[in-house]
């Protein structure tokens, strides 16, 4: 090595960086560091020669020589990058020879680091000559140098927190309004398709409708039954606790009857179905959209709304009232069991009291909402499914949106019904 040379070894296994090496050098005039002792060589011996990249840099007959040696691969790249950044720079305008004769192994990252070094030196005004490149490395080095030449375009957007927040709020608001309008438009489209099918019932896909009745109705029975039963139990238990204080235990039946039949039964059903079937609709139609199946339907002269949306909506409008009735029965049954267990109200007493407490109009006030909820859930589910674009991620986003919007609309419409019923005096 030439006198006054600088040398650093990089050993990935030890994570050794230039900090250790450069400590032994002291800066001399003209930006050239003079070599002190040989501690670097000592460290080198310890690690063995298997996995290291090293570089030495120093003046060499009139010019400057940078010698790379060892294994310039991905494993050594982190420390090697740091070492290259810290390596002493040649004097102004000196011709640089980048000697790669002793490079044993080279991969893309190593080639990039050395190429970047050569590029930087060139930019600083040195004439850089790469010498000693082994034939098996030449192609790689050339390819990486060419690829690395494309200048990085820094994509830095100005960060303006307050303006960004206002913009986002505005975008979300406009988006929500547009979404609501689109949904109303979609409702119109589905209605028109429905009417067309009523005129030509033979076009209705009965098999599809029955399939979705099974999927959304029959298969939902176990979970819906269990949850409604438990809600009935909880309501009866809490109601009994309060009513006991007034000695009005029997009125727990009234409480149960009104709340389950009017609100809780149908609301629970709608929420469970929105989570279960609304999301399934979005995922099914969304995946079809990703696979271009929806496009295929369109090109075959078929109507995606007629083929995909109407059977689902119709199936849900048939199943949801039935499911709601089933949830009512299970909820009352749960309440009756609890009333028997804690208040000693027999089933006979329970039914007699129920008869006197609620009329048929209470039941109807609950169940009349079911088809409306069904239509809303199916519409939102199918609409979001058709809005899926391109990717798998989009299916996930839209499915989440369908469930949230479905449940939101169900509760809003329930509130509207309550106001309406109170006006009508039902």
Partner 1 sequence: MGDAPVIRVRGLVTRFGPQTIHDGLDLDVERGEVLGVVGGSGTGKSVLLKEILGLIQPAAGTIELLGHDIAGLDRAERTALQARTGVLFQNGALFSSMTVAENVMLPLKEHTALPPALIAEVARVKIAMAGLPPDAGTKHPAQLSGGMIKRAGLARALALDPDILFLDEPTAGLDPIGAAAFDALIQGLQRSLGLTVFMVTHDLDSLTSICDRIAVLVDKTIRVGTLAQHLADPHPWIHEYFHGPRGRAALDAKERNAALRHAKG
Which residues in this chain contact partner 1 in the complex, by CB under 8 A? 73-75, 77-78, 81-82, 107-109, 112, 116, 136, 139-140, 142-144, 146-148, 150-153, 155, 389-394
Q: Residue 61 Cβ, how far from partner 1 at the closest point, in Å?
A: 32
Q: What is the separation of C-alpha 259 from the centre of its chain, rounded to a whole number of angstroms? A: 38
Q: Residue 153 Cβ, how far from partner 1 at the closest point, in Å?
A: 6
Q: Which is nearer to partner 1, 8 or 379 (CB)?
A: 8
Q: Which is nearer to partner 1, 155 or 300 (CB)?
A: 155
Q: Residue 20 Cβ, how far from partner 1 at the closest point, in Å?
A: 17
**Triad 126, 116, 101: Cα angle to 5°:** 80
Q: Residue 136 Cβ, how far from partner 1 at the closest point, in Å?
A: 7
Residue 262, CB half-sphere, CA atoms under 13 Å: how many? 17
Picking from 4, 10, 2, 1, the residue whose alpha carbon sits closest to that of residue 114 is: 10
55 beta partners: 8, 68
**Triad 308, 314, 315: Cα angle to 5°:** 90
Q: Which is nearer to partner 1, 107 or 303 (CB)?
A: 107
Q: Which is nearer to partner 1, 149 or 200 (CB)?
A: 149
Burial class (CB in 10 A: 0-12, 13-18, 19+), 250: middle
106 Cβ neighbours under 8 A, 6+ residues apart: 72, 73, 100, 114, 137, 140, 141
275 Cβ neighbours under 8 A, 6+ residues apart: 403, 407
Q: Residue 144 Cβ, how far from partner 1 at the closest point, in Å?
A: 6
Q: Which is nearer to partner 1, 138 or 165 (CB)?
A: 138
What are the distances in angstroms from CA 163 to CA 168, 170, 171, 177?
Answer: 9, 11, 12, 21
Q: Residue 47 Cβ, how far from partner 1 at the closest point, in Å?
A: 17
Picking from 377, 378, 375, 383, the residue whose alpha carbon sits closest to that of residue 186 is: 383
Q: Residue 42 Cβ, how far from partner 1 at the closest point, in Å?
A: 25
Q: Which is nearer to partner 1, 61 or 393 (CB)?
A: 393
Q: Which is nearer to partner 1, 147 or 302 (CB)?
A: 147
Q: Residue 5 Cβ, how far from partner 1 at the closest point, in Å?
A: 26
Q: Residue 158 Cβ, how far from partner 1 at the closest point, in Å?
A: 16
Per DSSP bridges, beta strands 26-27 and 128-131 are unpaired
Q: Which is nearer to partner 1, 4 or 78 (CB)?
A: 78
Picking from 231, 424, 211, 412, the residue whose alpha carbon sits closest to that of residue 328 is: 231
Q: Which is nearer to partner 1, 151 or 201 (CB)?
A: 151
Q: Is the CB of residue 56 less than 8 Å from the CB of residue 8?
A: yes
**Triad 270, 274, 275: Cα angle to 5°:** 120
Q: Residue 108 Cβ, how far from partner 1 at the closest point, in Å?
A: 5
Alpha-carbon span 346 to 249, nearest angstrom: 12
Q: Which is nearer to partner 1, 139 or 192 (CB)?
A: 139
What are the distances in angstroms from CA 374 to CA 188, 271, 335, 404?
Answer: 16, 10, 26, 15
Alpha-carbon span 166 to 293, nearest angstrom: 39
């Amino acid at each position: 090595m030439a006198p006054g040379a600088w040398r650093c070894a990089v050993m990935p296994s030890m994570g050794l960086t230039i900090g250790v090496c450069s400590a032994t050098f002291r800066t001399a005039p003209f930006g050239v560091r003079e070599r002190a002792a040989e501690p670097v060589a000592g460290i080198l011996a310890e690690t063995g020669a298997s996995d290291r990249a090293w570089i030495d840099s120093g003046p060499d007959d009139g010019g400057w020589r940078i010698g790379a040696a060892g294994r310039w691969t991905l494993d050594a790249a982190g420390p090697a990058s740091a070492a290259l950044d810290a390596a002493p720079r040649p004097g102004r305008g000196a011709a640089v020879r980048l000697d790669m004769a002793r490079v044993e192994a080279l991969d893309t990252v190593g080639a990039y680091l050395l190429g970047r070094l050569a590029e930087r030196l060139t930019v600083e005004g040195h004439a850089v000559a790469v010498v000693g490149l082994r034939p098996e490395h030449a192609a790689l080095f050339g390819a990486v140098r060419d690829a690395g030449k494309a200048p990085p375009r820094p994509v830095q957007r100005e960060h303006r927190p307050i303006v960004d927040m206002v913009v986002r709020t505005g975008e979300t608001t406009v988006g929500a309004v547009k979404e609501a309008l689109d949904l109303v438009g979609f409702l119109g489209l589905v209605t028109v398709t429905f009417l067309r099918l009523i005129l030509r019932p033979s076009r209705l896909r009965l098999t599809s409708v029955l399939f979705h009745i099974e999927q959304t109705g029959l298969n939902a029975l176990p979970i819906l039954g269990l949850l409604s039963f438990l809600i009935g139990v909880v309501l009866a238990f809490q109601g009994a606790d309060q009513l006991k204080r007034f000695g009005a235990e029997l009125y727990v039946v009234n409480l149960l009857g009104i709340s389950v039949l009017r609100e809780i039964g149908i609301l629970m059903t709608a929420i469970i179905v929105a989570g279960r079937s609304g999301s399934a609709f979005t995922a099914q139609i969304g995946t079809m959209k990703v696979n271009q199946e929806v496009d295929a339907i369109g090109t075959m002269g078929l109507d995606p709304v007629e083929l995909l949306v109407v059977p689902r909506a119709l199936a849900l409008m048939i199943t949801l009232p039935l499911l709601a009735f089933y949830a009512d029965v299970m909820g009352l049954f749960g309440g009756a069991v609890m009333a028997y267990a804690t208040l000693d109200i027999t089933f006979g007493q329970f039914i007699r009291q129920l008869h006197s407490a609620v009329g048929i109009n209470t039941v109807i006030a609950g169940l009349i909402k079911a088809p409306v909820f069904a239509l809303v859930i199916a519409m939102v589910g199918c609409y979001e499914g058709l809005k899926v674009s391109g990717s798998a991620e989009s299916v996930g986003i839209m499915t989440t949106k369908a469930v949230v919007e479905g449940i939101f609309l169900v509760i809003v419409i329930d509130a509207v019904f309550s106001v309406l019923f109170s006006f009508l005096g039902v």
